[in-house]
Amino acid sequence: MAMVGDRPGAEVAVSPAKAIEMAKAKGVQIVDLRFSDLFGMWQHFSIPMTELSAELFEEGIGFDGSSIRGFQTIHESDMILVADAASATVDPLSRIPTMLLVCDVYDPITRGRYTRDPRFVAQKAEEYVKKSGIATTTYFGPEAEFFVFDDIRYDQNANCAYYYVDSSEAAWNSGRDERPNLGYKPRHKEGYFPVPPSDSLQEFRSEVVLKMQEAGIDVEVHHHEVATAGQCEIDMRFKTLTKMGDQMQLYKYLIKMLARAHFKTVTFMPKPLFGDNGSGMHCHQSLWKDGTNIFYDAKGYANLSQTAKYYIGGLLKHSPAMLAFCAPTTNSYRRLVPGFEAPVNLCYSKRNRSAAVRIPVYSNNPKAVRLEYRPPDPLANPYLAFAAMTMAGLDGIKHKIDPGDPMDVDLYDLEPEEAGKVKQVPGSLDEVLRALESDHKFLLEGDVFTKDLIETWITTKRAKEVDYIRLRPHPSEFYLYYDA
């Protein structure tokens, strides 16, 4: 088996001995082994500290792959996890001192990496970037938004379907008898940046940030987001592709766990509320070669190089297929709706947030030049989403795909004839899955994605999500049609 330092995309060469030494120094009693299923849910099981040895980082430990979504069938269930020493961190929220280790998935028969392990896809994408000769490093900085609610109830049966969410700061509770109701509840679409007490979650987010820093995550900023009822954002400093995939999983875990400790609940659903903003995961990204940002050109539009523009061309061309990984749920398309300030327009622009690709212009520093791909949402499997964006961008560079002229206008004020010329993202999960079926060659380059993974993704998404929703009456249909 490959050692940690030999794996594609390894962030830092940390020896198993160093990880074990750190565990002992921190008084660790439990070691938690973590990995992602195909669709992005973090999985785990734990071992006592007495079982932590160099073999865990070399030979690995077995588990049942047939019980993990998108993995193995029952007759080929045995799989192996090999811990990555570079990922070792002490859980800042566990009462019992616990070390977290992110693991890679191996096939016990071939002793090789498992092709449906999302982390392996991310590592292969990083390796492909290097082999392409175009760049040596790809950086990602996702901005994952989320809601913090006080109560959530939902059910789905043959004779009923409902959901109910509530928040003490929600606009709809301005008239509730709270004995006393102290007010300061942000109105719909007015949650962006008001100070406390309107921002009732300042202390909660600050506590999350401190715990993230304890866990080794570099945080740049936190704030309330646009929607009422507790929409928030915490931004991490950019990292390399696989490392940021690891951090996104840890990010979600820490926020959910700390919310639960405060008797609150967090959701990363892109559209949990009707009539207010949804939650996106805008992805800042750039390519570097030997320490130089190859997206920078002082003479280019918004300081962008021609290479960066070709990268944008790849993102825009492959967006319909790519969104099967970047906006991968039926709920994603409750957010990506034309005319409602969503980034549905397949064009690029500096500063314009209604374009699929925005070029931030906060700084002229060459190191800060990057592009922001806005359609993704935080239900995406970060490993697969970041890898898919990278592969689309590289395809644009390789084939010199022209993204056209930038759209530095208010896209909502365009005349209908002009607006009709701007392509938009597909309107449903079923549409993007069909787009992925017809456009996935760019993902197969370098064996980064495999046909088996793509087919499993499409088949499972259709059966478990598209058909699940399509076959059930919607509560609003009763409102519209029951008395017809």
Phi, psi (degrees; rounded to nearest 5) at 178: -105, -5
The residue annotated as part of the active site, out of 126, 143, 430, 465, is 143
Query: Catalytic: 188?
Result: no
Active site residue 353: yes
Asked if 282 is an active-site residue, the reply is yes
Out of 372, 395, 430, 465, pick the active-site residue.
372
Listed in sequence order, the residues at least 6 apart from 105 whose beta carbon sits closer than 8 Å to its beta carbon are: 35, 65, 71, 79, 80, 81, 113, 114, 116, 117, 119, 120
Beta bridge partners of 137: 288
Angle made by CA atoms 88, 119, 17, in degrees to the nearest 5:
25
Active site residue 233: yes
374 as an active site residue: the answer is yes
Residues 244/140, Cβ–Cβ less than 8 Å: yes
Q: In what helix (H) or strand (E) does residue 154 lie, and over which residues does it extend?
A: strand 151-156
440 given a catalytic annotation:
no
Rg for the chain (alpha carbons), in Å? 23
**Active-site option among 117, 145, 246, 276:** 145
Calpha distance 140→349 (Å, rounded): 19
In degrees, rounded to 5, the angle at the alpha carbon of residue 374 between the alpha carbons of residues 146 and 128 is 110
Going by C-beta distance under 8 Å and a sequence separation of 6 or more, which residues neighbour residue 477? Answer: none
The residue from 117, 233, 430, 465 that is catalytic is 233
Kindly name the residue from 353, 470, 472, 474 that is annotated as catalytic: 353
Active site residue 64: yes
Angle at 293 between CA 288 and CA 298, to 5 degrees: 155
Q: Is 445 a known active-site residue?
A: no
Which residue among 225, 235, 276, 297 is the active-site one? 225
- Active-site residue list: 64, 143, 145, 225, 233, 282, 353, 372, 374
